[in-house]
Amino acid sequence: MQIIKVGIIGGAGYTGGELIRILAFHPQTSIEFVYSKSQAKKPVHAIHTDLFYLKTVFTDTIHFDIDILFLCLGHHESKQFLEHNKIPDIIKIIDLSQDFRLKNTCNLEHKHFVYGLTEMHRDRIKAAKNIANPGCFATAIQLSLIPLASSIQIDEVYISGTTGSTGSGQSLSSTNHFSWRANNLQPYKTLTHQHLFEINESIEYIQSKKPHIHFLPFRGNFTRGIFTSSTLQCSLDLEKLYDMFITYYQMSPFVYISKTMIDLKQVINTNNCLLHIEKEQDTVVVHCIIDNLIKGAVGQAIQNMNLMCQFSETCGLQLKANYF
Write out 134-183 in H/E/C secondary structure.
CCHHHHHHHHHHHHHHCCCCCCEEEEEEEECHHHHCCCCCCCCCHHHHCC
| Average pLDDT of span 217-243 | 96
Percent of the chain predicted with pLDDT > 70: 97
In the chain, where does the domain assigned CATH 3.40.50.720 lie?
4-112
Task: Give the whole-angstrom CA distance, residue 56 versus residue 75.
Answer: 26
Would you place residue 170 in the very low, low, confident or very high pLDDT band (cuts 50, 70, 90)? low
Question: Among 91, 94, 48, 90, which residue's Cα sits nearest to residue 71?
Answer: 94
Has residue 200 got a pLDDT over 60? yes
| Average pLDDT of span 104-112 | 93
Altogether, the residues listed in the chain come to a count of: 324
Q: How far is CA 176 from CA 14, 164, 247, in A?
A: 13, 10, 40
Tell the CATH superfamily of the 136-292 domain.
Dihydrodipicolinate Reductase; domain 2 (3.30.360.10)
In the chain, where does the domain assigned CATH 3.30.360.10 lie?
136-292
Is 136 labeled as catalytic in the residue annotation? yes
Instruction: State residue 173's pLDDT score.
Output: 62
Instruction: State residue 174's pLDDT score.
Output: 66
Q: Which of 72, 136, 234, 273 is catalytic?
A: 136
CATH assignment, 4-112: 3.40.50.720
Has residue 299 got a pLDDT over 60? yes
Has residue 1 got a pLDDT over 60? yes
Instruction: State residue 163's pLDDT score.
Output: 96
Phi and psi at 50, nearest 5°, equal -70, -15
Cα end-to-end distance, the chain, whole Å: 36
| Average pLDDT of span 137-165 | 96
Task: Give the whole-angstrom CA distance, residue 47 versus residue 56.
Answer: 12
Has residue 226 got a pLDDT over 60? yes
